[in-house]
Structure 1
């Protein structure tokens, strides 16, 4: 049984011969990536190659579905058919470096005629078709899968926030499904927004020091507005606009400076609302690099700390950027202001009274 590629494959902009089809595919970077995957993992067991008999030719069958994969296997066995020398070299390397036996046979589904194949080709390539076709994963489905395999994706923090909101019934499934995940990602991936909400990334999960009541109100406000379209992309497009937006949300919800609790809340589906301990024992983010003792700034640039107080957080970041030797006085003043703001915030939060010492005899 021999296979020939479909010269009328919709992927081709014109009718080509068998050798021309192979050269055409070999020039495509995505096709070469497919060939590399086949060389390392084999043919995808989730997909079938559909073939039909070629009229008037015994034991010859035309590939109606799966042309790229069949072509990739052929080029892995016969790299010299790839056309230009650089592509020949690539396929020779892929074949030589394959860690599994290359598929010497290709499982196929034999259909009677083209019309029978056309139905399944439409199902495969024609979009969702109201449920008949393949329904691709959206961003939320991709994130759930990434979490399942222990991989953190770009939208993982936003997804964790959504899962927390659904678990705690802050919003229902309908609202959660309508939230544009990329817009939510813009917010939760913004360090300034996280500082306003007392959030940090702890062991690749999102945690916050907002009091539970404050937290849930903010989440409901943000998710509902995103889902309904009330919050537009341009309102959260830049860092400045995102900061303005989240501060307005806090004002709308009547949440003041005294919005942080004594313990942290971890925002993921498995540990929703679980306390991480008192503030005094909270861990800062792990450093990925050793701090250098020969640094030029007061706060090492690779040191990471989540500071919920907006002004203290802003000063902290300035101290990470300000060269001490060049701006000694400015660094000293900033350090003093940082300490004063921090102490004042602590006194107000804990409702402590400050008694001045009298140094006079």
Structure 2
């Protein structure tokens, strides 16, 4: 067992190690300081030694991490620093800013300013651990700097453990850990999903929810360091449940979600029941999975415990499955097609155009988006006419005629209600943006210039219509 003692030593008697493992050996103290300064420069023009100086001046030296030294063979009053060269260099620069390399004038001035703002007298002497030679100190330096050594060395906290520490100290945990907390405490996640959420690595989950399109699809946002829900929690749970279980079962890995286009492609794998919906507050949404009692309370807005005057059987609403219309999506999004709009066209050409449209940034490719939206709409309508045998119209008719026929077919066969078809009818009747003639003009008239907002608004009006005709 190595022998050592604790001593308070003068900073001026400590020698920065000229054979520090952080860099190649140098020939003098000033060279050792200069190379340390140069090695500690940050890419963003900041500097690690300056950050360390601020921390030392505000909190003092770390009492759990003392400087390790041994006597210099040529003078026993001087000591070579084996562990703690960064902090010793930083303190020497605080006392003598003239030691900076000549190209670090700006940093030198910052240290001079610190020198005038703080009392440095408390750092004139440092508590050190003194070994007789480097070999005796070698073991302790090794277990600190060379990894876990199967548990003998320093076992660093992983990302998840660091986040728990931050949260416990009252700091804001990251979006990914707030999301995991939502899952652990949520009422709409089953036991398996909650267990899986504790087992998965957080890196891939973080990669997903750091993507604004994925967050929009799920219905979560990260505002002011806090995760907020923009869709009902029950709906958000659908998407998160699939993601957690896909990660836990290795159905997806980093290669499946590494790039933006990969993440958008992954969202295409969600089945209809896994896609979070955004039910508008002003609609009487009739969910077939709700009990009759729940539907009555929703439609009549009554408290069954207080309203005893109503006959439960009187005016009972007809129970039927209806389609829920999503709340219009903000036109501030980057792409024409919102991330939570998912269809799976069976025709290869329509599917290829759909996937390309999902990746077009409207502000960058406005004309391309306009032309391809027009093509996508007509091909989708042609497909529906052919597969559903819509009478009175065929592919030879113009877009206005074909779209009118399909709208009438959807309403006549109770596939969509008149109200649900209002958006598509608006595109037909509008005298400004969205007019089918304007869609044609995007292709054929060189004097018509589509705008980003017009295209997104037109899509939002057509979204339910398009989804219906491309969904069997």
TM-score of the aligned structures, taking structure 1 as reference length: 0.65
Q: Structure 1 residues 221, 143: CA separation in 2 closer, same or farther (over 3 Å shift)?
A: same
Per-residue CA distance 1:296-323 (angstroms, 9 max, x = gap): xxx8859xxxx89638xx9xx969x979
Residue pairs, 1:7-18, within 5 angstroms: 7-18=18-29
Q: Name the residue aligned to 2:162.
A: 142
Q: Name the residue aligned to 2:295.
A: none
Larger Rg, first or second structure (1 or 2)? 2
Which of 66, 69, 82 is the equivalent residue of 2:87? 69
Q: Name the residue aligned to 1:356.
A: none
**Contact 2:70 2:131 survives alignment (8 Å):** yes
Q: Name the residue aligned to 1:158.
A: 176
Which of 68, 72, 77 is the equivalent residue of 1:50? 68
**Contact 1:209 1:262 survives alignment (8 Å):** no
Residue pairs, 1:22-171, within 5 angstroms: 22-30=33-41, 33-42=47-56, 43-45=60-62, 46-55=64-73, 57-82=75-100, 84-87=101-104, 90-98=107-115, 99-102=117-120, 103-148=123-168, 156-168=174-186, 169-171=191-193
Q: Structure 1 residues 249, 57: CA separation in 2 closer, same or farther (over 3 Å shift)?
A: same
User: How far apart, in 2, do the equivalents of 1:121 and 1:192 lie?
Assistant: 46
Per-residue CA distance 1:181-238 (angstroms, 9 max, x = gap): 23212222223323333333455313152562x5445434322322343312232233
User: How far apart, in 2, do the equivalents of 1:71 and 1:333 lie?
Assistant: 60
User: How far apart, in 2, do the equivalents of 1:22 and 1:333 lie?
Assistant: 61
Give unpaired runs (5+ residues) of structure 2: 1-8, 282-297, 299-329, 343-357, 368-432, 434-446, 468-472
Q: Name the residue aligned to 2:460.
A: 338
**Contact 1:196 1:309 survives alignment (8 Å):** yes
Which of 305, 310, 330 is the equivalent residue of 2:341? 310
User: How far apart, in 2, do the equivalents of 1:181 and 1:334 lie?
Assistant: 34
- Count of aligned residue pairs for this structure pair: 296
Give unpaired runs (5+ residues) of structure 1: 264-277, 279-298, 346-361
**Displacement of 1:120:** 1.0
**Contact 2:68 2:84 survives alignment (8 Å):** yes
TM-score of the aligned structures, taking structure 2 as reference length: 0.52
RMSD: 4.1
Residue pairs, 1:339-358, within 5 angstroms: 339=461
Q: Structure 1 residues 332, 79: CA separation in 2 closer, same or farther (over 3 Å shift)?
A: closer
User: How far apart, in 1, do the equivalents of 2:19 and 2:76 lie?
Assistant: 21
Q: Structure 1 residues 233, 115: CA separation in 2 closer, same or farther (over 3 Å shift)?
A: same
User: How far apart, in 2, do the equivalents of 1:207 and 1:184 lie?
Assistant: 17
**Displacement of 1:128:** 1.3
Q: Structure 1 residues 187, 250: CA separation in 2 closer, same or farther (over 3 Å shift)?
A: farther
Q: Structure 1 residues 226, 344: CA separation in 2 closer, same or farther (over 3 Å shift)?
A: closer
User: How far apart, in 2, do the equivalents of 1:172 and 1:192 lie?
Assistant: 24
